[in-house]
Amino acid sequence: MSRLDSFIRRLEAQRACLNHAVELTRHLDGIVLELGLGNGRTYDHLRSLFPGRDIYVCERRVAAHPDCVPPPERLILGDMRETLAAARASLGERVILAHLDVGTGDAAANQALAAQLMPLVVPLLCQGAVLVSDPVIDSAELLALPLPDGVTPGRYHLYRRL
């Protein structure tokens, strides 16, 4: 399996999980939170999946395609370890779907960052909210959900807030 193969597989798994999350969150009221904008491709996909939801995006420094930059009032600029704590007052328990793809290419660093972020992310999730995540998450407040068809376990992750 080449790096091109595994990259395509990962993107397909990511997309399948995000698409599946639409059904999983249909009954919930609230907002979507994208943890990391990057080039904006996933944000653009979330916009297409959740046309009726406000989508907030955390990013240190915007470097996305100009068509994929969120409006300033929903862009949370800065280091997520600081901004997520500050966002609790306004976003606390309002998030129905959060997506985490820290995607540095370094699996151990991604895992470590995810572990740092989770205590800040979980309080933003409403009960029943879904977390779609590239790194595996270990949290007593999150239940791992079955993956959609075609996604091999471990390739991407889905959780429900208890």
Cβ 103 to a copy of itself shortest distance, Å:
12
Asked whether position 141 contacts a copy of itself by CB under 8 A, the answer is no
The yes or no reply on residue 12 touching a copy of itself (CB under 8 A) is: yes
Instruction: Pick the closest to residue 50 from 11, 4, 95, 86 (CA basis).
Output: 95
For residue 88, CA distances in Å to 26, 68, 74, 80, 137 come to 23, 25, 14, 12, 20
Non-local (6+) Cβ contacts of 132 within 8 A are 14, 17, 18, 21, 97, 98, 99, 100, 156, 157, 158
Please identify which residue in the block is written with the tokens 């100009």: 66
Give strand pairing partners of 35.
58, 100
Instruction: Name the residue nearer to a copy of itself (CB basis): 6 or 127.
Output: 6
- CA angle 27–80–47, rounded 5-degree value: 40
Supply the minimum distance, in Å, between the C-beta of residue 156 and a copy of itself.
Answer: 13
Q: Which stretch binds a copy of itself (CB under 8 A): 8-16, 50-58, 72-80, 111-119?
A: 8-16
Provide, rounded to whole angstroms, the least separation between the CB of residue 152 and a copy of itself.
Answer: 17
Give, as ranges, the residues between 19 and 78 that touch a copy of itself (CB under 8 A): 40-42, 44-45, 47-48, 65, 67-68
- Answer yes or no whether residue 3 interacts with a copy of itself by CB under 8 A: yes
Asked if residue 93 binds a copy of itself (CB under 8 A), the reply is no
Angle at CA of residue 110, ends 158 and 102, nearest 5° = 70
Q: Which stretch binds a copy of itself (CB under 8 A): 7-15, 22-30, 75-83, 112-120?
A: 7-15
Window of 10-18, 109-117, 119-127, 146-154 that interacts with a copy of itself by CB under 8 A: 10-18
